[in-house]
Amino acid sequence: MEVSAYSIDAADGRFEKTTITRREPGPTEIYFDIHYAGICHSDIHTARGEWGPATYPLVPGHEIAGVVTKVGSEVTKWKVGDRVGVGCFVDSCGECDECASGWENFCLRGETVWTYNSQGRDGLPTAGGYSRGITVEQDYVVRIPDEIPLDKAAPILCAGITTYSPLKRWGAGPGKKVAVIGVGGLGHMAVQIAAAMGAEVTGIGRTLSKRDDALAMGATDYVASSDPEAMKALRGKFDIIVTTVSDGLDLGLLLKLLRNRGVLVDVGLPEHPSQLNVAQLINGNKVLTGSNIGGIPETQEVLDFCAEHGIAPWIEVIGGEDINDAYDKVVGSKVRYRYVIDTSTFDA
């Protein structure tokens, strides 16, 4: 099947409209029309070659929401008309301990197939959500609750699960104090989710420009990291800190903000190595850890959680012709807080 898409041909290139081929669904696969695709900073890092060489032409997008239009002969989980989504991966071995435990993103056989810039079972490069449709194995698709509009559901498939997973793992809830470093595409979801879990949430950014937004999302306080006295006042306050910042982390400073036995979770995937005085972990039994998206069961869980608690990303809907400009604005922190592409514009 030929579908419209937007692709980029080189790390220094620009997105152009094109067509790509999607296979007809096999016995256990579904095909769904993509209605919306979020723009994740990971898309930008990959498209611009910042995480290593990419396979071009590249069609990014791993925050994908749409409606099923075709199902294979052996599909039991989905039917035509279902509202569905796909996140960061579309396949794995399905048999190893991690896959069997719902952690397909950590497939022990190394067979996790990423939604784009990867290689599928058919040996062809995978293409993501900046397109009008996609064919996927039924086990790697999640249900989008009726309470969540498709455009707002898309970012939950990455930004939502990336922040929900560590907050759940480390026990965000009543009586816990949580700090979110960087209230952007990921951080604005972390604030909402942690608040819905019952935690007391503080947002921390370079300036106070996002203070009112963070408070509206459920934070009880917001502090500028550029204010030494304000940061000093936060020392020893937090049980959990989630940092979404991709570079320039001062781990020593952040660890000072933790209570004894507190945890600092990095979900930002910094490009450059960080330095750490391990004594800061030993003194206070503190934990420094990372977290990387989540498996299919937990991704479904965060969608259901967001539906139950009325949580949705703050989005700006754009057309395909706006992708290049949107990339520059994301890098410049000029989006509040997630760009979502309306793929119907691809047909214009």
Buried b (16+ CB within 10 A) or exposed e, 12-27: eeebeebebebeebee
| Interval 278-333: pLDDT, tens | 999 999 999 999 999 999 999 999 999 999 999 999 999 999 999 999 999 999 98
pLDDT of residue 60: 98
pLDDT of residue 266: 95
- Alpha carbons 46 and 269: distance in angstroms, whole number: 13
pLDDT of residue 274: 80
C-alpha distances in Å from residue 308, one per residue of 121, 197, 332:
36, 11, 33
| Interval 103-145: pLDDT, tens | 999 999 999 999 999 999 888 999 999 999 999 999 999 999 9
Mean pLDDT for the chain?
96
Q: Would you say residue 217 has pLDDT above 80? A: yes
pLDDT of residue 121: 83
pLDDT of residue 257: 97
Handedness of CA 202, 206, 208, 209 (dihedral sign): negative
pLDDT of residue 182: 94
Among the listed residues 246, 84, 70, the one whose alpha carbon sits nearest the alpha carbon of residue 154: 84
Q: Would you say residue 17 has pLDDT above 80? A: yes
Instruction: Indicate the domain borders of the chain.
Output: 2-158+294-347, 159-290
Residues 253-279, mean pLDDT to the nearest whole number: 90
| Interval 283-298: pLDDT, tens | 999 999 999 999 999 9
- Which CATH class name applies to 2-158+294-347? alpha beta
Q: Would you say residue 271 has pLDDT above 80? A: no
pLDDT of residue 242: 98
Tokens coding 21:
């081929």
pTM of the model: 0.95
Q: Burial of 167 by CB count in 10 Å (0-12 exposed, 13-18 middle, 19+ buried)?
A: buried
pLDDT of residue 246: 75
pLDDT of residue 272: 76
Residues 195-216, mean pLDDT to the nearest whole number: 97
Residues in contact with 216: Cβ distance below 8 Å, sequence separation at least 6, in sequence order? none
pLDDT of residue 91: 97
- Which CATH class name applies to 159-290? alpha beta
Residue 37 burial (CB count, 10 A): 34
Q: Would you say residue 74 has pLDDT above 90? A: yes
pLDDT of residue 73: 98
Residues 148-162, mean pLDDT to the nearest whole number: 98
Q: Would you say residue 11 has pLDDT above 90? A: yes
| Interval 219-236: pLDDT, tens | 999 999 999 999 999 999
